[in-house]
Structures are given as structure tokens and as C-alpha cells.
Chain A
């Protein structure tokens, strides 16, 4: 029973991190229909931003979130302005290929600049656990869970209650109508892309407490992020949270009760089932 409870708890905590990785992707995917293959590189840039701020300013990684978020947000704006936004037609396959090229470019440039070495933050509370009876719960992951909740609620609030947020939703639903209403669709797309990048960076920051990172680390996130996005429904913000947690729990229980060799397959199987039987995602409606 303890094993079961522990697996569920760890699944949820890991799921929260999956959720935040997917948050930026679901926004870009849901709103702009861009399959962003460079998503993992945004996460990586977030990790390195945190690392450099931590190294040179001595700031606690969790406190770097606003800075890393803004740095990568700006990076996203630039990438949209000078790249993605200029793709002729902006079709799905063209944007997919462009971002795949961008992914190679960013990761390898980062490797060239920062060397391929593994880096890890040496946090004093890195492996501290909270003991609840027989259960041991990682402190960093609880902090992450809280930040993820704030992000999800904040982003949802932003999309539903602010003018820019509503403009983003409007242009995701009907581009022409939105531009007729006086929304600068192009600028909104740029901002959406930037926000998506910024949230990926937050995921990066949270991950620095958990794993080592290196310039090409981004590739390991991309499939997981897509699984979560599809589970929750493309463009669905609370859906990303639900999708992340389902993935986390499925992997955790699968590894313990079925076979650890297939850990990555459980999410994929759920992913396929959702795609086939409920393509709008578990929570249904978009943005």
C-alpha cells in the first residue's frame, strides 16, 4: 500500500513538471498551429539562464524565474520576428521543418559556446525529503508543484481576463474576424510565441533542481511534451496540467507494477488511445 501511495505521489509530482514543460508548447500549438520542434531548446535556454544567474549573481534558482522567463520570452519574440513569422504560408510542415532546423541550430550553437559538459546545480536542499509516515516526498518537487499551479492559474487568468489574452484566444479561433475587430494578429502571434517560449524557460528552471543539463538536452523533452499536449487537448491550459499528471502517474505505476523497461511506452500508448478516441483531448475545448 505504501508503495502504491508513494508511486502515486511521485507520479503526480513528476507530472507537474511534465505539465509545465508542455504549457508553452500547448499555447504555441493550440493558438498558432505550429508544431514547434525547437521547444526543447527553449527549455534548455531556460536552464542555462538559470545556471548563469545562479553562478554569477548567486541567486537561488527558484528566484531566477522572472529573469529567465523574460530572457527567453524576448528570445521567442526575436525568433518569431526574424524567423517563424516570415515562413511563407506558415503551413504545418513548413513550420515544423523550420523549427526542427532551429532546434539543431540553437542546440549546436549552445554546445559550441558553452561546451558539451554536463552541468548540475549544487543546491543545499537538492535531495531533502519530507517524511510523512513512511512516505518520502521530495522538497524540490513540492516547490515545483506549487510554481506549476501558479503558472497554470496565472496563464489561464491571463488568457481569459486580460485584453491581450482575449486577443490571443480570439485570433486562435478566427483570425480574420479577429483582425476585423482591430486586433493586430501578427503582433498577437509574436506575443503568443514569446509567452510560449517564456513558460518553457520556467520549466527549464524547475528542472535544474532535478537533472543535469547540457546544450543538447532539449531533445529529451519534446516527445513527452507532445504527449501531454495531446492528452490535455491542444491549446488547453488546465488540460496540460491534467495531461502532465496523468502521464506522470502512468509512468510511475507502470514502472513499478508492469515493467520498468517500458516506462516510456505507457505514456505513448495512452497518447495513441487519446488521439484515436478523443482527439480533442481529455478536457475538450481549446484555449
Chain B
């Protein structure tokens, strides 16, 4: 019964997402905002796998996003590889980057790990900035034409907002499914136990470094995907854009505002933060970041378990009594 209900709802949500671009009031701007929300969901969930479930707060996740973005852009613009392959290869490169990063930085714990990732991301940004022959330096890489995607007999051209919408939606759904599936396997429980008590997990025979690295690699893979898509959507990347500290911070915001350590959390967080930014700008103009900061503070103070956790608590406490 319960499962049926949830499945039905997922189908409704999915159906809504699928027909959304066809609604009469939907325009390119709304589609763009939706794409931005999807990208936030992808990197929010990715960050959450490592930060929320495994308890390793990374403050430099933009390095994987940037890696995905640069790989995708270089492959698409210089080698005219189709964007789908390029994005996947970008994600693979992000994983290649994550391997040594994990090997080295997982020696660190807690805030030291956070600072270590922050520093690594900055170093990589500086490398991207100075390695002009590959990355175009500060000018960055500009995307003029997107080659079509050939999947067997089908051809798909990325270009219009609608095509990007469905493309990003597809990856968002894949990310959610993979996260859901992964967290219900034994690995998922290992992650949680590492978060709760790393030493105890080690004592119980969990190879904590192996599983932390495992979480990091998957996290890097999907962050890399979001980077690749973002690069194609924006059409220009430069080190300041895709390796920026504020991007790393945004991934954390999304997860924490929504509810850290849950699948719904980053999804809700993405909707709230992206839409809020847009509405606030309409409402108060350039003062919107003041309110944005204020809201962050209020959420931490009054909803430390995130909006989803808060809703769950409120909802359960008011309604469950009636039902019982």
C-alpha cells in the first residue's frame, strides 16, 4: 500500500517533469531555471553522498565539477566529440582526479579534510588558470557549436533550452536512482557507519579508507557530469567560474538547507535556493544576497536538520497522533 503510493507519486512527479516544458506559461527562462535546479540536484546529491552520508565534509568539490567541465569543453570544441561521450569522459576524468585526491586527503579527518579539499581545489584552479595552452587561461574556453549526439540510429541535437532540459532531467533521474540504489546496498550502510563513528567502523572490520574512497569516486563522477552539462549550458568556462570556492559552498548549502544525509534533502534544497534567488532579486533588487545570507543563518538556527527534516518532524508529529 505504502509502496504503491510512493510509486504513484514518483510517476506523477516524473510525468510533471516530462510535460513541464509543454505548459503554455513555460518559457525559456523558466526552462533555464529548471536546468539550473537540476544541476544543483545532481551536484547536491553528489556532495551529499560524501558529506552527508559518509561524513566527509568536502569544501573543494568544485574541483570535480571543473574537471568535468573542462574535459567536456576541450573534447567538444577541439575534437568535436559528441557531447554525451564528452560529458561521460569528463566524469571519468573527475574520477581520475578523485583517486589521488582521496588517497592523499583521506589521511585527514573532520575540518582538516575540509581545509585540505579547499586547498586542493584552489591549486587546481591556479593550474587551470596558468596552463593556457590547454585551458585557454583566464579567457577560458568558448563553445560555438555543439556536435549532434548519435545514439545508434537516433540523432539528438543539443541546442534549444528544451533539449537541454530533457538532457539534464535524464541525468538528474539517473543520479537519483543510482544514489537510491547505492544507499540501500551494504555500501550505503558502511558509509553511514563511517559517518557515525569512523574508529568503531574500522574496529568492526570495515575498510574505512576503501569505502570513503568509494563514496568519493562516485561523488566525483556525478559532480563531473553536472560540470560537463553546466559548461555546455553556459557556453563559456573559465577557471574562476567552474573551480570557484562559491560553487563548492553552494553544493554544501543545497544539501544542508534541504536536509543533509537524505535523498530528498538536496532535491528540496536545490528548488528552494535557486527559486529563492530569483524571487528575491525581483523583490528587493540587489539586496537579495542580504536576505539569502539571513535565510541561511535562520535555517541553521531553527531547522538544523534541514527543511526536509523539519517538514518530516512537523508533519509526523501533527498527523501521526490523529492516525494512531
What is the interface of chain A, defined by CB distance below 8 A to chain B? Answer: 29, 33, 35, 83, 86-89, 92-94, 96-98, 100-109, 111-112, 223, 226-227, 230, 259, 261-262, 264-265, 268-269, 271-272, 275-276, 279
**Is the CB–CB distance between A97 and B119 below 8 Å?**
no
**Is the CB–CB distance between B119 and A271 below 8 Å?**
yes
Q: Which residues of A contact B304 (CB under 8 A)?
A: 87-89, 94
In the complex, what distance in Å separates the CA atom of A279 from the CA atom of B112?
8
Q: Which residues of A contact B2 (CB under 8 A)?
A: none
Besides A102-B293, A268-B126, A275-B112, 4 new A-B residue pairs in contact (Cβ under 8 A), listed by A number: A83-B301, A97-B300, A226-B115, A276-B116
**Is the CB–CB distance between B252 and A97 below 8 Å?**
yes
Q: List 30 A-B contacts (CB under 8 A).
A: A83-B297, A87-B300, A87-B301, A88-B304, A92-B110, A92-B111, A92-B114, A93-B57, A93-B260, A94-B300, A97-B253, A98-B296, A98-B300, A98-B301, A101-B293, A101-B297, A101-B300, A102-B297, A103-B293, A104-B290, A105-B293, A106-B293, A226-B115, A226-B118, A259-B130, A262-B130, A265-B123, A268-B126, A269-B123, A276-B116
**Is the CB–CB distance between A108 and B110 below 8 Å?**
no
Q: Which residues of A contact B122 (CB under 8 A)?
A: 223, 264-265, 268
- Given A98-B301, A109-B290, do A104 and B110 touch, yes or no (CB 8 Å)? no
Instruction: Name the distance in Å between B315's Cβ and chain A's nearest Cβ.
Output: 20
**Is the CB–CB distance between B119 and A272 below 8 Å?**
yes
In the complex, what distance in Å separates the CA atom of A83 from the CA atom of B300?
10
Q: Which of B115, B119, B249, B300 has the most CB of A within 10 A?
A: B300
Q: Kindly state whether residue B78 has any CB partner on chain A within 8 Å.
A: no
With both beta carbons as reference points, the residue of chain A lying nearest to B301 in the complex is identified as: A86
Query: Which of chain B's residues 244-258 have a Cβ closer than 8 Å to chain A?
Result: 245, 249, 252-253, 256
Q: Which residues of B contact A83 (CB under 8 A)?
A: 297, 301
Q: Which 9 A-B pairs have the closest CB atoms?
A: A101-B296, A105-B293, A104-B293, A108-B289, A101-B297, A98-B300, A88-B304, A261-B130, A108-B290
Q: Which of these, A108, A112, A275, contacts B115 with CB under 8 Å?
A: A275
**Is the CB–CB distance between A268 and B123 below 8 Å?**
yes
